[in-house]
Amino acid sequence: MWYHVAKPSEFLVITGRGIDELKIAKKAMVWPFQKCEKIDVTPVNYTFEVNAMSTEKLSFLLPAVFTIGPRADDHNSLVKYARLLSLHQRDSHDVKELVQGIIEGETRVLAASMSMEDVFKGTKDFKREVFEKVQLELDQFGLLIYNANIKQLVDVRGHEYFSYLGQKTQMEAANRAKVEVAEAKMKGDVGSKQREGLTIQNAAKIDVETKVITAQRKGKGKMEEIKVGSEVKIFENKQEAEVSEANAKLATKKAAWSQQAKMAEVVAEKAVAIREAELQQEVERKNALTKTENFKAQFLSRANVEYEIKVQEANSEYYQKQTAADAILYEKQKLAEARRIEADAETYAKKQAADAALYAKKKEAEGLVAFAEAQGIYIRTLLSVLGGNYTALRDYLMINERIYTDIAKYNAEAIRGLQPKITIWSTGVSEGDMTDGTRAGKGNGAMKEMASLYSVIPPLLQTVYEQTSMLPPPWLDTCSNNLTTLTESA
């Protein structure tokens, strides 16, 4: 048992007992029957010169430096690297050949799909495409491209494309410089003349603008004076209109106040007259009531006494009748209540009887269901024991239930005293036997069946004649004799 600790740039790969495939860790206890290896994840620089060819069949060299190492921040990548490349050193020849093969293959495939001009001008895009495609292939080994530098493209001997392209660029730059010098000189001459003309034009333009501005300022000053005078006049008119409007409102209010004062005087006078009339009417009504009371006291006293007596008698008679009616009503209510209680009791008894019958029926149905389920289990068990033979199951059930005995009993009772003629015959051939006592094989099975059928017909006709005295047709009798002969010969 050992305790291992990896360096900052290393990982421990542990295999053996208790581990399914392998275990990646920075520190671990290694037990007996386990093995521990260290893998270094420090990136390594790989320098290559890839010989590629463009779509124009032009060869070129692509110097490149790739910094490649295991992906230390991804556990799955570390597992892939440990499983596939842990036995090789980081800078071993095998790993270098693997990386070089992937880079050269992807670079050549990509260069073959691009023209030389695209490769030369789109170096950044070319580098990005190479980086992505190479990284996609290295993922299956758990490797990561930390950096990729593609140097200047180099011509292959005999294919000086980049040299000629550089000469072309130099000549184009020289010609462009000459043209630019001539254009600069032309622009200088033209510019000096343009400056002189512009100076004269600007001077004339400034004089004209000065005169225009002076006239505009004079006109604006006069317009301001007129505008101020108009505003003063408008303000004076507005003030006069407001004063007139205030005077008119004051006169209107004075007239309204005078009218209200007169109306108040008239209303007060009329209210006094109305009150006097109401008081006079009240005095007259009191006098009339006084006279009426006097007449009542004189003429209606006797009538009131008689009326009171009759009212008392009527009330007494009404009370007696009401008491009798209340007694009858109370008796009827009690009788109805008794009948209702009796009906409720009868209804409750019927309900209890119905519930009891329902409960009995329910229990009977549950018993039938349980019996049917038990019978089904019993029949399934019998059928399983008999190997699924429904005929044997039927025969067993009929024998077990004594059905055959009952059938014989009922038939005997049905024909008791009739003295019927009962004929019993047999073909004389059992299953698998011939008439001569030999066993029937596969070849004469059909002949056996035919012989059994033919042997049944003559006894059948004889039995019909004995029981019904009916003879068969002549042709059937002839056929029967022939069948008998055929049966005997068989």
pLDDT tens per residue across span 115-136: 777 776 767 777 788 888 888 8
Tokens 């051939």, located at residue: 429
Tokens 């550089």, located at residue: 166
Span 161-183, average pLDDT: 72
pLDDT at position 442 is: 46
Tokens 């024909």, located at residue: 415
Host domain of residue 454: 422-489
pLDDT of residue 438 exceeding 50, the answer is no
Phi, psi (rounded to 5 degrees) for 472: -75, 165
The CATH code of the domain that includes 77 is: 3.30.479.30
Q: Is residue 305 part of a domain?
A: no
Q: pLDDT-derived band of residue 211, with 50, 70 and 90 as boundaries?
A: confident
Q: Is residue 377 part of a domain?
A: no
What angle do helix axes 390-400 and 301-385 make, rounded to 10 degrees?
A: 110
Euclidean distance between CA atoms 362 and 368, whole angstroms: 10
Q: Is residue 370 part of a domain?
A: no
Looking at 94, 127, 156, the residue that finishes a domain is 156
Q: What one-character-per-residue DSSP string does 6-69 give?
A: --TTEEEEEEETT-SS-EEESEEEEPTTEEEEEEE---EEEEEEEEEE-TTS-EEEEEEEEEEE
Q: Is residue 243 part of a domain?
A: no
Secondary structure class of 19 (helix, strand, coil): coil
Q: Is residue 168 part of a domain?
A: no
Q: pLDDT-derived band of residue 481, with 50, 70 and 90 as boundaries?
A: low
Span 50-65, average pLDDT: 75
pLDDT at position 441 is: 47
pLDDT of residue 432 exceeding 50, the answer is no
Q: How many domains does the chain have?
A: 2
What does pTM read for this prediction? 0.34
Looking at 156, 190, 210, the residue that finishes a domain is 156
Looking at 137, 156, 175, the residue that finishes a domain is 156
Q: Is residue 448 part of a domain?
A: yes
Q: Is residue 261 part of a domain?
A: no
pLDDT of residue 437 exceeding 60, the answer is no
Q: Is residue 147 part of a domain?
A: yes
